[in-house]
A and B are shown apart, each in its own frame.
Chain A
Amino acid sequence: MLAGAEIACHKARMKCGRERSGGVTRRGVLAGAAATGLAACTTRRDPNALRLWAMSYEGDYSPHLMPAFTRATGIPVEVQSLPWTAAHEKLLTAHAGGALPDVMMLPNGWVGEFALVGAIAPVTDGALLADLFPATLATVEHRGVSHAVPWSVAPQVQFYRRDLLADAGYDAPPEDWAGWREMGRRLKRRRPDDYAFLMLLNWWDALFTFASQTGTSLLRERDTRGNFRNPAFREALAFYRSLFDEGLAPPIVSTEMQDPLAAFAQGYFTIYPSGPSLLLDLHRRRSEIAADRWGVARMPGPRGPGPVSGVSAALAVSRTSTRPDAAWALVRHMTSAATELRFQTLIGNLPARRSAWSDPQLTAPALAPFAAQMLDLSVDPNIVEWERVRIEVQLIAERVVRHLMTIDEGLATMDRRVDQLLAKRRALVQAGKLA
């Protein structure tokens, strides 16, 4: 891809030079225009620049954080933005091909995996690991050594339509499952063509939030076997399915919901379990949905809110980086409280540095539920298969929701499938090669 662009650049410039010497021709002007259009690829070859990869909004907006760094250190930075749907394979193939950037963003769940394969370097500067929430720190460890610096924390919360809830007689969503579902039924009765909740069936976050609120652990025997056939997870799955069975949530996947925010603004659903990244969308598109029409609350638990996974992002430095000192300097800059606060105003990302939370900027009422949840984070199993376990469990949960399986069949299938996924890990743990 890169090589192709460079060749195109090169060709465009050659053509341009040759034809200009013979006077200005139409083709020469066009080629010149193409060359300026491709000028981006000449900067890409800047040998002094540090390379940074980040996903989604973080990738799109990180360039705004770079001028301050370049001014202070004189080191230019090139940022590449990756889509979430292809990030995992892109990073792994880049590692296998020796093409990782100097600094990369990783969701905390992937840190152990990339540390295991030797893609990222351990954090040597203890100062980088101070002033963080303990639960996020646990997720960046591999064999007891931190391999990334937490950058943001994004616990799942619920966004709700204030006006629609008021119509149904609520100021805020109830905090326990029974009350939450009852609210859903009332909303559905008032607006039978619309829905109360949006929980996309190919995303695991809603189900795993319910599960973590019960406080159960989903793996057993040193994280080598599934533990889904336990009463607490069964209760969570049954609750999850009931929301679809009663027509309170539409049984759809993300490809069918092209624009969830527009649907939220139109009242297609009232409650949207999501993370802080939605804050940016809500701010950008405030003409569609005014700020007084939505609110934020913690996700409901079986008997009141409980711990939720702080799905969050961390920054890691590649082992193959030729300039580790500059790379760590960039990590230090990006994870400083000041930069994290600036990123909060830009894209809504919530700072991982605890000291940033005493800043007046974070006292907005919409952020209070996040602040409360931040003190009550669950810790995910720190194993390389965890990402896949979540996805495969969600696939089975989708089949349960669509009544292709009963709940108990689903739970048994989850355990069987997860045991299969963890077979290699089990063998390595038994052989004493893995903790």
Chain B
Amino acid sequence: MTRQERAAWMFTAPVLAIILLVLVLPTVLALALSVTDYSLYALADWSNLGFVGFGNFTDLARTPLFWRSLGNTALFALLGVPAAIGLSLATALLLDAKTVRWKPLWRVLLFAPYVTSVVATAVVWRFLLNTRFGLVNYALGWVGIGPVDWLGDPHASIPAILIFVTWKIFGYNMIVFTAALSAVPGDLMEAARLDGAGRWARFRHVTLPAIGPTLLLAAVMSVAGFLQIFAEPYVMTLGGPAQSTTTVLYFMYQEGFTWWNLGRASAVAFVLFVLILILTFVQARIGRRYEWL
């Protein structure tokens, strides 16, 4: 080992140690827990703890609520990621336009929801979405749409929560996109315009390649974020109505902390871990294909 290498190891050692301690070790322990039937009975008496191999996983496969929560999570991600990224990109493009004035003000206003507390805003949105007295239904009434039972109808509950989540988080990616857009070369844009490229062609061939890596990053983070959605259904619907907003993480929380079936909860955590890993891998491959990475 050269002197330089030794120095490099010394500088990275603290971080590596922390990663080992707070990331790798808990993951391995959770994996170990997921092949046991650790439950209240084991908490009472260690002799009640048993090794069950893949029992927790086969048991999960037979639990309808687990599949329902996977489906709900997939629905959240499928609808939520395009909605959140689309809205962020659209507002970033709007804010990037030369004719817009007071840009810092708009940026702050649109970013504000992201830094407010989830619980406080969720409670306010619960009032907004109230079937009888809510402002949302009041506004819909003007355009002749009958009252929607947002948080009570199993078909409307996911859209209702998505409206809230999108409103809450789009500000973050908007700022990221604003930064990326400012790096789009102006002369390239000018040249494209002189060559007769329309708005769409300029966006597709100049802007998009320039912000590609940022877009990929935003997509990876958003997918991971939406797969781990928890606080919003926990505060707004408690996983209901008819378990239509029970997500994988909510299911895991209930198994693990409400009922103390830590074996099963760890199995859920492991499944979620693998899912996010696979999705991120696929996204990275797509990104590499378009030479964004």
Contacts and interface: CB of A to CB of B under 8 A. Distances in A.
Interface residues on A, range: 20 to 34
A398 B238 contact: no
Contacts of A402: 154, 241-242
A117 interface: yes
Interface in A210-260: 251-256, 258
B134 to A, nearest CB: 10
Interface string A118-129: 100000000000
A113 interface: yes
B44 A258 contact: no
Given A89-B258, A255-B236, A433-B48, A201 B241 contact: yes
B58 to A, nearest CB: 12
Contacts of A93: 257
Nearest to B131: A256
Contact of A256 (B39, B152, B242): B152
B162 interface: no
A356 to B, nearest CB: 34
Contacts of B62: 420
A253 B130 CA distance: 12
Contacts of A202: 238, 240-241
B24 to A, nearest CB: 23
Most buried by A among B41, B130, B154, B243: B41
B48 A113 contact: no
A428 B41 contact: yes
A395 B127 contact: no
A433 B47 CA distance: 10
The main secondary structure of chain A at its interface with chain B is helix
A404 B40 contact: no
A398 B241 contact: yes
B62 to A, nearest CB: 8
Contacts of B48: 428, 433
B245 to A, nearest CB: 10
B166 interface: no
A370 to B, nearest CB: 29
Interface of B: 37, 39-41, 43-44, 48, 59, 62-63, 126-127, 130-131, 149, 151-152, 154, 236-238, 240-243, 257-260
20 contacts: A118-B44, A201-B241, A202-B238, A202-B241, A253-B240, A255-B126, A255-B151, A255-B237, A255-B238, A255-B240, A256-B131, A258-B126, A384-B41, A398-B240, A398-B242, A402-B241, A402-B242, A420-B59, A425-B41, A428-B48
Given A201-B241, A202-B241, A404-B242, 6 more contacts: A251-B152, A254-B238, A255-B237, A420-B63, A428-B41, A428-B48
Closest 5 pairs between A and B when the two form their complex, measured CB to CB: A89-B257, A117-B44, A253-B240, A117-B43, A116-B44
